[in-house]
């Protein structure tokens, strides 16, 4: 499987997890969890495509913070010099 197909696959998995996870959230009131900011410093450059960069960051955050159950959202990639990047996402966390 090529890199772009792998990224698309992971993006689809993340989307499915989010959709299934939000099915149980009541329409009124707050869910029993909140979103907490997390970041990772990683080697390499951010992809030039923002969607691809967000998907890669979501995968990196999932790998570091508990898999798909962390439900990373609002992911961004920021270049830090020529050889480093910082991925930032909000993940599901409990009070």
pLDDT at 95 over 60: no
Local structure of residue 73 (DSSP, 8 states): E
Report the 10 Å Cβ neighbour count for 32.
Answer: 10
pLDDT at 91 over 70: yes
pLDDT, position 6 = 74
Question: Which H or E run contains 18?
Answer: helix 3-23
Q: Cα(74)–Cα(62) distance, rounded to whole angstroms?
A: 13
Give residue-wise pLDDT tens across range 2-61. 666 677 777 766 775 566 565 555 556 666 678 899 999 999 999 999 899 999 999 999
pLDDT, position 27 = 54
pLDDT, position 19 = 60
pLDDT, position 43 = 95
Domain range annotation of the chain: 3-22+34-94
């Amino acid at each position: 499987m090529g890199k772009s197909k792998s990224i698309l696959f992971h993006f689809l998995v993340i989307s499915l997890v989010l959709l299934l996870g939000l099915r149980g959230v009541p329409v009124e009131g707050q869910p029993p969890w909140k979103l907490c900011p997390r970041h990772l410093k990683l080697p390499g450059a951010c992809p030039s495509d923002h969607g691809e960069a967000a998907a890669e960051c979501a995968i990196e955050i999932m790998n570091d913070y508990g898999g798909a159950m962390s439900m990373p959202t609002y992911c961004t990639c920021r270049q830090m010099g020529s050889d480093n990047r910082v991925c930032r996402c909000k993940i599901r966390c409990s009070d």
